[in-house]
Amino acid sequence: MTTYVDYLMIICLPSELVKEISRYKQASVNAIGHFEAMHTPAYITITHQVRCKPFLAQPAIARMEQRISSLPPAELYLNGFGYFSHGSAAKTIYAQIEPTQRNENWFKLLAMQMGIKLKDFTPNVTIVKNIPATTFNKLWPNFHNRKFKYPFTVNSLTILHKDTFTEHDEWRVYRELSFGNKLSAF
């Protein structure tokens, strides 16, 4: 039997920033109660690949590692909060990465080096995920127009993995791909 694996490709954040985002999550729990992913550490999701065959995915990741090493590290800047609507039923609140042409170009280059397409990609750090609209309406005033600024450097891409069909399986680090600054793209 062929085993299938899910891969989650993320950018890990500095520990001080993870702690700061955890404070916002805890304040949200105090305001609205429990919500999905309230205990999940903060990170930037790049892509989630579902039901992959490891004998195909692992060589592709090895090739990706070579291409990723040519990317320069990125200087990103969190600036305020935003939200996504999931239809009319649910919303997600996030810390937004300041949209600059440089950041946009870096994320496009990252996707190209990974060999993936990122349609309608908005890099962000999730605070409160997938909450009902009524709960969002109660919580959003606490985030709207709130000042939150945090600069940080991105040096690597973390690839997590777990078995697709194993119940309650947890994400484990598969590989850490470092950006090697071999290009002078900017």
For the entire predicted model, the pTM comes to 0.91
Quick one: pLDDT at residue 186?
Answer: 46
How many of the other CB atoms lie within 10 Å of CB of 144? Answer: 12
What is residue 180's predicted lDDT score, i.e. its pLDDT? 86
Q: What is the pLDDT of residue 171?
A: 96
Among 97, 75, 69, 53, CA closest to 175? 69
10-residue mean pLDDT profile of the chain (186 residues): values are: 87 97 97 92 96 95 93 96 92 96 94 90 95 96 95 97 93 95 52
